[in-house]
């Protein structure tokens, strides 16, 4: 299984290198306060990286907030159970 993962990783790295080499033209970006020119491959890599990071943050926040809610609900139920038992 590990060998298969390494093979897939190498295939995607090779595909990324080929994609970057074939799309070496510069793409201008104007952010209003700054201008930037990046190769198409670099711009695509940056967009994928930003999407990956934002998706990871969103997933982390979603799971951690749900876990906190569950812990808070369990704590409140324990308080109610302790109050009625006393």
Please state at what angle helix 2-22 crosses helix 40-85, rounded to 10 degrees.
140
Q: What is the pLDDT of residue 52?
A: 92
Nearest C-alpha neighbor of 26 from the set 46, 45, 47, 41: 41
Other beta carbons within 10 angstroms of residue 43's beta carbon come to 16
Please provide the average confidence, as pLDDT, over all residues in the chain.
86
DSSP state of 23: T
Helix-strand-coil percent breakdown of the chain, rounded to 5? 80, 10, 10
Q: What is the pLDDT of residue 86?
A: 64
Kindly report, residue by residue over 9-26, the tens digit of the pLDDT. 899 889 888 887 888 889
Q: What is the pLDDT of residue 77?
A: 80
26, 42 in Cβ contact below 8 A? no
Predicted TM-score (pTM) of the model is 0.57
Q: What is the pLDDT of residue 4?
A: 92
Q: What is the mean pLDDT of residues 24-40?
A: 88
Q: What is the mean pLDDT of residues 55-80?
A: 86
Q: What is the pLDDT of residue 57?
A: 94
């Amino acid at each position: 299984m590990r060998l298969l993962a390494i093979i897939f990783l190498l295939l995607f790295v090779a595909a990324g290198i080929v994609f970057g080499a074939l799309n070496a033209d510069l793409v201008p970006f104007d952010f209003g306060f700054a201008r930037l020119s990046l190769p198409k491959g670099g711009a695509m890599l940056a967009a994928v990286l930003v999407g990956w990071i934002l998706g990871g943050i969103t997933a982390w926040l979603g799971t951690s907030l749900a876990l906190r809610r569950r812990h808070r609900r369990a704590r409140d139920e324990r308080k109610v159970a302790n109050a009625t038992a006393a």
